[in-house]
């Protein structure tokens, strides 16, 4: 775990697997497009960039995993996952509306009624193809994954995100605080501001936040700002100082240190590497 931001940061790998989800001890990030398919049991509840996202039986979800995300409740028995490294995703050159939505932290989620009958078989095959080390199998899998994401986008791009209405009062309070961070991280925020979103005393609110998300409000706020900085570096030509300001960082030096620690490279190099991938 990175000590500065309190969010686990994992390397990006082209891979697929399946299994039973578990509630995650803390949010994590990895610089890729993540696809999920729930095939057995009930629902996974994510917090993705502070927004509650329910992925139910038979649903396919796609989201940019550089946005901090965490499974906070689960009744699903079996799920398929595929991770597509961000340079591969950029090479697909999806429509601007799709890319903008994903990079803004808003996932694409299919209703179970629109899920393809072939999805369970395909997810199993993709995991096999990506694990066997054969270049042609990998290429076929990537082509099929691109087609699946494009089809998912066509079916879901205009759908709004549903708000969490679950019955756990503590989870509802934490979701309200995380949502407030997601909506206002570009602004100066205090603990009192965030606690007020859940109508709680700041000290009590911070305890509830840590109890559910296993991180501090400050660390979670920083990780949200870093995700926005990554988006701006990839999709705009804004100077680095403007990226820092537009992401909510009051100090350029603080931004540089936090970004380099979390991403492993300075902001300018991160931008160059992703520009090279998009142009490939």
Residue 81: predicted pLDDT: 95
Mean pLDDT on 102-109: 85
pLDDT over 60 (residue 2)? no
Are 114 and 239 members of one domain?
no
CA separation (Å) from 12 to 66, 82, 221? 10, 11, 23
Residue ending a domain, among 124, 156, 188, is: 156
Please, what is the average pLDDT of the chain? 86
As a whole-number percent, the residues of the chain with pLDDT over 90 amount to 47
Contact (Cβ atoms closer than 8 angstroms) between residue 28 and residue 22:
no
Question: In this structure, what are the phi and psi dihedrals at residue 97, rounded to the nearest 5 degrees?
Answer: -65, -35
Query: What is the distance between the alpha carbons of residues 90 and 137, in angstroms, rounded to a whole number?
Result: 20
Mean pLDDT on 149-163: 77
Residue identified by tokens 């398929």 is 80
Residue 68: predicted pLDDT: 80
Q: Which residues pair with 73 in a beta bridge?
A: 45
pLDDT over 80 (residue 8)? no
Are 13 and 152 members of one domain?
yes
As a whole-number percent, the residues of the chain with pLDDT over 70 amount to 90
1: confidence class by pLDDT, cuts 50, 70, 90? very low
Residue 213: predicted pLDDT: 78
Residue 206: predicted pLDDT: 93
pLDDT over 60 (residue 145)? yes
Residue 280: predicted pLDDT: 54
Are 151 and 173 members of one domain?
no
Are 102 and 150 members of one domain?
yes
pLDDT over 80 (residue 162)? no
Residue 5: predicted pLDDT: 42
9: confidence class by pLDDT, cuts 50, 70, 90? low
230: confidence class by pLDDT, cuts 50, 70, 90? confident
61: confidence class by pLDDT, cuts 50, 70, 90? very high
Residue 144: predicted pLDDT: 97
Are 30 and 106 members of one domain?
yes
Residue 161: predicted pLDDT: 57
pLDDT over 90 (residue 194)? yes
CATH number where 131 lies? 2.60.120.280
CATH number where 275 lies? 1.10.10.60
- Pick from 98, 101, 40: nearest CA to 74: 40
Are 178 and 258 members of one domain?
yes
Q: Which domain holds residue 174?
A: 169-279
- Tell which wins on pLDDT, 258 or 105: 258
Cα–Cα–Cα angle for 47, 123, 156, rounded to 5 degrees = 50
The secondary structure of 138-202 as a DSSP string is: HHHHHHHHHHHHHHHHHHHTTPPPPPP--S-HHHHHHHHHHHHHHHHTTS---HHHHHHTTT--H
Cα–Cα–Cα angle for 162, 49, 272, rounded to 5 degrees = 130
Lowest mean pLDDT among 4-18, 62-76, 88-102, 185-199: 4-18
Residue 4: predicted pLDDT: 38
Q: pLDDT per residue over 163-175, tens digit each?
A: 555 667 887 888 7
Contact (Cβ atoms closer than 8 angstroms) between residue 210 and residue 14:
no
- Tell which wins on pLDDT, 190 or 52: 190
Are 13 and 144 members of one domain?
yes
Indicate whether 3 belongs to any domain.
no
Are 83 and 199 members of one domain?
no
Query: What is the distance between the alpha carbons of residues 269 and 98, in angstroms, rounded to a whole number?
Result: 25
**Phi-psi category of residue 250: left, alpha or beta, with phi > 0 → left and psi -120 to 50 → alpha:** alpha
Indicate whether 258 belongs to any domain.
yes
Indicate whether 261 belongs to any domain.
yes
Residue 254: predicted pLDDT: 92
CA separation (Å) from 81 to 12, 41, 124? 13, 16, 9
256: confidence class by pLDDT, cuts 50, 70, 90? very high
Contact (Cβ atoms closer than 8 angstroms) between residue 223 and residue 6:
yes
């Amino acid at each position: 775990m990175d000590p500065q931001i309190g969010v686990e940061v994992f390397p990006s790998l082209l891979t697929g697997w399946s299994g039973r989800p578990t509630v995650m001890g803390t949010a994590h990030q990895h610089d890729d497009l993540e696809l999920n398919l729930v095939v057995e049991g009930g629902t996974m509840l994510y917090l993705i960039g502070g927004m509650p996202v329910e992925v139910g039986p038979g649903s396919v979800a796609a989201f940019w995993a550089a946005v901090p995300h965490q499974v906070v409740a689960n009744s699903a028995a079996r799920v398929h996952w595929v991770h597509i490294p961000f340079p591969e995703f950029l090479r697909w050159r999806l429509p601007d509306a799709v890319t903008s939505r994903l990079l803004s932290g808003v996932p694409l989620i299919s209703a179970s009624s629109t899920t393809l009958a072939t999805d369970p078989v395909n997810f199993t095959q993709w995991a096999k193809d990506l694990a066997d080390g054969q270049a042609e199998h990998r290429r076929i899998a990537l082509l099929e994954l691109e087609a699946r994401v494009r089809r998912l986008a066509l079916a879901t791009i205009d759908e709004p995100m549903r708000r969490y209405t679950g019955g756990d009062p503590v989870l509802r309070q934490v979701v309200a605080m995380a949502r407030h961070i997601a909506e206002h991280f570009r602004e100066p925020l205090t603990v009192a501001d965030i606690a007020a979103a859940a109508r709680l005393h700041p000290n009590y609110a911070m305890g509830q936040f840590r109890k559910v998300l296993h991180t501090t409000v400050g660390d979670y706020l920083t990780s949200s700002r870093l995700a926005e900085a990554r988006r701006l570096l990839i999709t705009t030509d804004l100077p680095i100082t403007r990226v820092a300001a537009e992401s909510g960082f009051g100090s350029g030096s603080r931004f540089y240190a936090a970004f380099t620690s979390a991403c492993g490279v300075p902001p300018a190099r991160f931008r160059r590497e992703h520009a090279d991938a998009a142009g490939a």
